[in-house]
Amino acid sequence: MRWIRVLLCALVLLCLAPQASARTSPPTLPSPRRDPRIDAAANLDGTLYRPESVAGLDRPALLLRNGEAWEGGQDPTWGQAWPGIHGWKRWLAMRGTDHSSFTDIWLIIDQLTGQSPPLDPARAIDVTRTYLTAFFDQHLKHEPRPVLDAPSPRFPEVVFVGTG
């Protein structure tokens, strides 16, 4: 039965990962509140179109934000939703990134044009993988991951915006 929960979380992760159509994709962070089979949820820089829909969420939630939106105060939906998440939660931001940094598109653009965001695209992918893996290991495998407890000198680009 445990593998079903891992599979569901992997599917949720695929739904939450930013895409070219991120602005039109359905809000999925509230899904764990509605579906008891989902043990944890992560949002990679996705807008929460109905922030009130996460009110009362009691499952672990990881919100990973791009540095551009966090530093610029764009998208107030995360701040509106944050108090409604009652389970274990982390709101992290990655400096030097933009919305597309959570995909591999910058690796291609960098190779074709030589343009890239301030944070090296390969580094952004490495940081994203590290924190997502730690999150799911901690909450699905029940293996503590200290990188989720506080800022790490190994990842100076990651800012802990909120914990709970």
State residue 140's pLDDT score: 93
What tens-digit pLDDT sequence spans the chain (164 residues)?
A: 444 444 444 444 444 433 333 443 444 555 666 777 888 888 888 777 777 777 888 889 999 988 776 655 667 888 888 898 999 999 999 998 876 776 667 667 766 776 666 778 788 889 999 999 999 999 999 999 999 999 999 999 999 998 98
Q: CB of 115 within 8 A of CB of 109?
A: yes
Q: Where are the domains of the chain?
A: 2-18+27-46+58-72+84-163
Give, for 43, the enclosing helix (H) or strand (E).
strand 41-44
Residues in the chain, how many? 164
Gap between the Cα atoms of 38 and 34, Å rounded: 9
Q: Residue 32 corresponds to which amino acid?
A: P
Taking the model in full, what pTM does it have? Answer: 0.76
- At 36 the pLDDT is 77
Q: Is 90 helix (H, G, I), strand (E, B) or coil?
A: strand
The DSSP bridge partners found for residue 123 are none
Give the whole-angstrom CA distance, residue 64 versus residue 93.
Answer: 6
d(CA 95, CA 146): 20
